[in-house]
Chains A and B, each alone.
Chain A
């Protein structure tokens, strides 16, 4: 597709359940990011994938959070044993190339997000 696609757009789950969120980046984009935005907060970095390199997981808030990406394609973010504080909009973004490798505005292309509500 033309843009970053995320699914589901909305997810309501019960506390303690596992959820899986999916991101389809823009074709040809080697970098993929997951961010989340909790109510009234800014965007919070979670994890970054670049090609086949080891992901940067420094933003994951706990070991209940994990993410995978196969090559330069789809990524899934999994939250195990969800808690109410996990309620947020989870945003995926992709970009063309790594920083410092040619002209790049640093522009991240974001999807519309997956709104997660944990009851």
Chain B
């Protein structure tokens, strides 16, 4: 039972345009959401996060939007650059337990075409 779903395994975008990566979740207890980026042969690296008390968080070219009623979040990258080509993982955690035990989606491979 996948609690975090990234339904698009891949996405291709032209350089300079907007990339929109989507993520849906089923567990209403999730209260913290993160995006990680992963290059081949490297570990995932943290990109941006959002708490459930917010609906938007922005960091430079990256913005994450959270729609709690729809249990949906999205990552917008604008403008997209070739160096953004990577696999993007959506992750979520529940309160309690004192840890950031994250539940990850399967990832979306973004290709930014020069």
Contact = CB atoms under 8 A, between A and B. Distances in A.
B62 interface: no
Interface in A16-38: 31, 33, 35
The B contact surface, by secondary structure, is loop
A107 B50 CA distance: 11
Interface in B1-28: 2, 4, 6
A56 B99 contact: yes
Interface of B: 2, 4, 6, 32, 34, 36, 41-46, 49, 89, 91, 93, 95, 97-107
Interface of A: 4, 31, 33, 35, 40-45, 48, 50, 56, 59, 91, 93, 95, 98-100, 104-113
Given A99-B99, A105-B34, A113-B43, 5 more contacts: A42-B4, A98-B98, A106-B100, A110-B44, A112-B43
